[in-house]
Structure 1
Amino acid sequence: MAAVAATVIALSLATAGCAPTPAAEHAAVAGNGGDFAKDTQKQLQDAVHAAMSASGASGAIVGVWAPWAGDWVEGLGTQSPTDKTAVTTAMDFRIADVTRAMTCDALYQVAADGTVDVDKPLSTYDPGYPDLGKTTLRQLCDGTAPIGSYRASLGPVMADNPTRQWDPHELVTYGLGQTLPAGGATAYHDSDAAYVLVGVILERVTGKTIAQILHDKVFAPLGLPSTALPGASASTPHTTGTALTGLNSVKGADGKWVCDKPADVTDASASLGSSAAGVVSDIDDLGAYVQALAKGTLTPKGSKRFASPQPVAAGTPSWYTAAGGAYQAGNLIGQFGAVPGYATAAFSDPATGLTVAVVLNNSGAGASVAEYLAWELAAIASKAPAEKGKKAPAAGLPWTAQQYADAIAQSAICAPPAK
């Protein structure tokens, strides 16, 4: 049941940015307020350590909130194999493709203001992309527009030239040059360029930077003080990000990665991702955001944002679909992805409040490990016993924790440490 991972690279872009303000008060994540039972907490912790080992991550930050059973928010491990500074829950990190959902939040709010119509051709707002014909903004957010991923062409170049500044129009052009998978524009497909183009058009129609738009439409209304889309120069999160590609990464004689010597890509250029994958946040903000996403807090009524979900790929389970810049996995709604140095996932159940957010500080294994870990943690928490006076939800998830523990083990790029 291993799901097809939507792989994306990116670090923040936006032409001008807003700095996070970690000292400000966070929006509360609706959870339990107490701790999980010790057995549940140990299961959660063991799952994270296994994912760290498989992905080569030296550190992780995790939040699991189950209103009937408990909460677990913790930093595990160290900044890097050589920097033994402990990872903490106060540290910022890059949230990768969760940015896409935020961009679509902003789009549908701007549409509700009457500034754009998500069902009109893009040429109505930007004539610079004639190849897109009658493609709409809704299709861009749904992942059904005839535009591919610029990572397919630029991934190796970006990995080896981390300080280069990229223009968003150039990224979109590379996306347009990609051949789409079977199904063309009618099927869902991963496209970082599509969300960069949404940002370009929002800037054009509002006269504001995408960083300011996201602040005004998403971060400020939800009370996310540590969340921002940085400017075009590097914006270093507090959590060190490492990768096993490009730069000075090392492979051994057997061709496998030397996982205790990853490249430090924390300070890479912020021009690699923009409104596709560029936002920086922390675990409290990320948990609060994905809860709001799942509940539709920022989705205008009547927008039909999630009205036409599409299978993520041929052969994936029927419970796994995509629409509106987000995924639905069983009862969970959220996003996941990888950028140089970080693999991040966040999902929430709007009915029960079960919420999971994770980041691993090594992107070498791609986005799937973070996705699988989030689903494994959700499965563990969904079975957690209710505390006195509360009732556990009757409905569960269409997978088991063991299934995704196995999927993580199968996708391992690093051998587990010797015992």
Structure 2
Amino acid sequence: TLLQLCNGTSGAGSSEATIKGALLNTPERIWAPLELAGYGLGRERVAPATSYRDSDAGYLLLGLALERATGMSASELIAEYVTDPLELSATALPGSTPSAPGDAPLTGHYMSAVEGGFNCAAPVDISTLSASSGYTDSGVVSNITDLGRYAQAEAKQVLRTKEKPDRFGAPLPTSEDGPSWYQATGGAYLAGSMVGQHGWVPGYATSAYSDPATGFTVAVVLNDSTGGSRFAQQLSWELAAIASKAPAASGQTAPEFGLPFTAEQYHDSITKSALVCVPPAAE
């Protein structure tokens, strides 16, 4: 069902592993959403409504279904129902023409793999790409301010009509061996009391999480996609743990909420997952 696609419980697989190389090597290629989704649908499926499974193919199919049902483009739908109501003036789904993300983009790049690690001395500029490579899964461009405001609004479910059930009311574990406090549903991850998402596109990695009760929000944008989304996710959680311990401003009261992880925990994890840079060979 469409709800299962949104919740990550459709059983459909992910296209990322199949197309990652093509995305990095041909960033300006214009993709058809159904072609992208097909790589995920071609993978082994699990029974629907039984477990959570992160699937970019699911979000691509949702975009196609919404376009067909409304007669509007995905760009128009996002503008009318998301960015305009939330006043996110720097956020939009561009057309398929390859372009840089905004008027003054943060240069995006990745490091080429070499024997023993990565060539960090010569990052590959990948700022210009076609938004069709992400479409309704990861094609939207934004800035750090809008990203944080969007995460805060999504955590509070401000776009949800009153008669609808709680979007995050029935989460599932993200994996069999993951911590009990890390769950997913409704197109978002739940990390303790915080709700958010993280991901990557060629050249960039982002993560944004917010606590719906207090409005406490952390957003991260990295202009390097080599480490993938997990690096940005762990950095945002480390920053959240640090900021949650900060004293309140003069005359204010700090919100009371506890996170099920520490800054040290994810600082160590980030350090262990750092890229291994291999010096260029001497000429």
Q: TM-score, normalised by structure 2?
A: 0.92
Deviations 1:313-333 (A, max 9, x none): 111111111111111101111
Q: What amino acid sits opposite 2:107 in the alignment?
A: T
- Of 239, 243, 262, 2:106 maps to 239
**Paired residue for 2:61?**
197
- Cα deviation for residue 268 of structure 1 reads 2.1
* Structure 2 stretches lacking a partner, 5+ long: none
Deviations 1:333-385 (A, max 9, x none): 11001111001000111112211011110000110110011111110010001
Q: Does 1:352 align with 2:214?
A: yes
Partners of 1:168 and 1:185 in 2: how far apart?
A: 24
SS of corresponding position for 1:281: coil
Partners of 2:249 and 2:24 in 1: how far apart?
A: 48
- Cα deviation for residue 301 of structure 1 reads 2.3
The within-5 A match list for 1:113-128 is none
Question: Residues 147 and 220 of structure 1: is their aligned pair in 2 closer, same or farther, counting only changes over 3 Å?
Answer: same
SS of corresponding position for 1:412: coil
The within-5 A match list for 1:115-154 is 136-154=1-19
Deviations 1:126-165 (A, max 9, x none): xxxxxxxxxx111001101021111222222332222221
SS of corresponding position for 1:286: helix
Q: Does 1:293 align with 2:157?
A: no
* Structure 1 stretches lacking a partner, 5+ long: 1-135
Counterpart contact for 2:238–2:263, Cα < 8 Å? yes
Q: What amino acid sits opposite 1:398 in the alignment?
A: P
Deviations 1:217-273 (A, max 9, x none): 0000000000000101112021111012xxxx352xx52101121211111222211
Taking only aligned residues, the RMSD between alpha carbons, in angstroms, comes to: 1.8
- Cα deviation for residue 280 of structure 1 reads 0.4
SS of corresponding position for 2:221: strand
- Of 231, 239, 245, 1:383 maps to 245
Q: What amino acid sits opposite 1:172 in the alignment?
A: A
Partners of 2:278 and 2:257 in 1: how far apart?
A: 35
Q: What amino acid sits opposite 1:341 in the alignment?
A: G
- Cα deviation for residue 410 of structure 1 reads 1.1
The within-5 A match list for 1:389-400 is 389-400=251-262
Q: What amino acid sits opposite 1:159 in the alignment?
A: L
Q: Which has the higher contact order (CA 8 A, sep 6+)?
A: 1
- Cα deviation for residue 415 of structure 1 reads 5.0
SS of corresponding position for 1:271: helix
Partners of 2:142 and 2:27 in 1: how far apart?
A: 21
Counterpart contact for 2:119–2:277, Cα < 8 Å? no
Question: Residues 397 and 320 of structure 1: is their aligned pair in 2 closer, same or farther, counting only changes over 3 Å?
Answer: same
Counterpart contact for 1:250–1:261, Cα < 8 Å? no
- Cα deviation for residue 186 of structure 1 reads 1.4
Q: Does 1:186 align with 2:47?
A: no
Partners of 1:280 and 1:407 in 2: how far apart?
A: 28
Counterpart contact for 1:146–1:176, Cα < 8 Å? no
The within-5 A match list for 1:45-56 is none
The within-5 A match list for 1:249-288 is 249=112, 251=114, 254-288=115-149
- Of 225, 228, 234, 2:89 maps to 225
SS of corresponding position for 1:154: helix
- Cα deviation for residue 184 of structure 1 reads 6.1
Partners of 2:240 and 2:224 in 1: how far apart?
A: 21
Q: Does 1:175 align with 2:36?
A: no
